[in-house]
């Protein structure tokens, strides 16, 4: 079971390029969308990451950043991101394999991959929305946008 609303987001530090790491704490003060996905290069994952790439401007209107996370290596992410022209970080949950996915309840022991799980985290590091989608289905961006809008409405 993936982590649910009102749960503090577990801290992590993962490679985003062969020589650069990102931490959850790097995004304090911003909303954060974590998009766990099974694998670079698969058709559904490619569609999902491309959709979030096209939706970045809408996410940024809500002061939200996106991070894609899979168990693929930093080198795979580098090639995939360049090929698909992805403009947000892809993080390698590679070694130890799936450690961050496990923290969020998003690791699939049977396949050795991340499940297709989404988390929207507030500026204080608390999960405000989460969703688990079947691996073969692109969950789209509507749920994320609804969660971001609901968070903005709570502040008003």
Instruction: Assess if residue 19 is contained within a domain.
Output: no
What's the CA gap between 61 and 111, in Å, rounded? 36
Tell me the residue range of the domain where 150 lies. 29-155
List 35, 45, 49, 91, catalytic entry = 45
Residue 126 lies in a domain: yes
Q: Are 70 and 149 in contact (CB under 8 A)?
A: no
Do the domain assignments include residue 141? yes
First to last CA, the chain: 32
The answer as to whether 112 is a domain residue is yes
Q: Is 26 helix (H, G, I), strand (E, B) or coil?
A: helix
pLDDT band at 69 (very low <50, low <70, confident <90, very high): very high
Contact 53, 86 (CB under 8 A): yes
CATH number at residue 113: 3.40.30.10
Identify whether the C-beta of residue 53 lies closer than 8 Å to the C-beta of residue 35. Answer: no
* pTM confidence score: 0.96
pLDDT tens, residue by residue, 71-85: 999 999 999 999 999
- The pLDDT score that the predictor gives to residue 155 is 76
Mean pLDDT over each residue of the chain, to the nearest integer: 96
User: Are residues 78 and 17 in contact, defined by beta-carbon separation less than 8 angstroms?
Assistant: yes
Asked if residue 5 is part of any domain, the answer here is no
14 domain residue, yes or no: no
Number of domains present in the structure of the chain: 1
Active site residue 26: no
Q: What is the pLDDT of residue 21?
A: 97
């Amino acid at each position: 079971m993936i982590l649910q609303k009102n749960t503090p987001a577990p801290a992590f530090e993962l490679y985003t390029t062969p020589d650069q790491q990102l931490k959850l704490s790097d995004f304090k003060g911003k909303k954060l969308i974590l998009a766990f996905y099974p694998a670079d290069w698969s058709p559904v994952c490619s569609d999902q990451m491309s959709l979030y790439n096209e939706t970045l401007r809408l996410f940024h209107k809500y002061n939200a950043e996106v991070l894609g996370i899979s168990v693929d290596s930093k080198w795979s992410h580098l090639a995939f991101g360049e090929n698909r022209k992805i403009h947000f970080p892809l993080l390698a949950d590679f070694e130890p394999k799936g450690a961050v996915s496990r923290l969020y309840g998003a690791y699939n022991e049977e396949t050795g991959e991340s499940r297709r799980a989404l988390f929207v985290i507030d500026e204080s590091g608390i999960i405000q929305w989460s969703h688990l989608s079947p691996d073969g289905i692109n969950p789209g961006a509507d749920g994320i946008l609804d969660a971001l809008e609901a968070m903005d409405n709570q502040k008003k």
